[in-house]
Amino acid sequence: QVQLVESGGGLVQPGGSLRLSCAASGNIFTIFHMGWHREIPGKDRELVASITNGGTTNYADAVKGRFTVSRDSAKNTVWLQMNSLKPEDTAIYYCYVDYAPPGSYPRIYWGQGTQVTVSS
């Protein structure tokens, strides 16, 4: 069993900042990468940012230069620092972990999501 505790969403004005956090726990042998997707109502989820256990990052073009993902591998925790927020960033942000349980195959587990709203 795996758990993801996700927090940090909220309402901010354009140009403001938020920091999301996500902590993974449970029956995990290794984590390959963690990060966030976001979902706009009526649309599919899209990758926002991810980071491997070794620290390699990946960002959507729309957030490059504004968002920064970081991690503490010892704590299985990731953070998403979101700066210069735009109304277009409004979405539900879902943390995920790509991991392997002990003696089993890789799989992805999703958090419950946190709402980010950017509005004047």
Walk along the chain (120 residues) and give the pLDDT tens digit of each residue.
Answer: 899 999 999 999 999 999 999 999 999 999 999 999 999 878 888 999 999 989 999 999 999 999 999 999 889 999 999 999 999 999 999 999 999 999 999 999 999 999 999 999
Q: What is the pLDDT of residue 45?
A: 86
Determine the Cα–Cα distance for residues 107 and 32; give it in Å rounded to an integer: 10
Q: What is the pLDDT, as a whole number, of residue 1?
A: 86
Buried b (16+ CB within 10 A) or exposed e, 96-117: bbbbeeeeeeeeebebebbebe
Q: Quick one: pLDDT at residue 27?
A: 95
**The predicted structure's pLDDT at residue 14:** 98
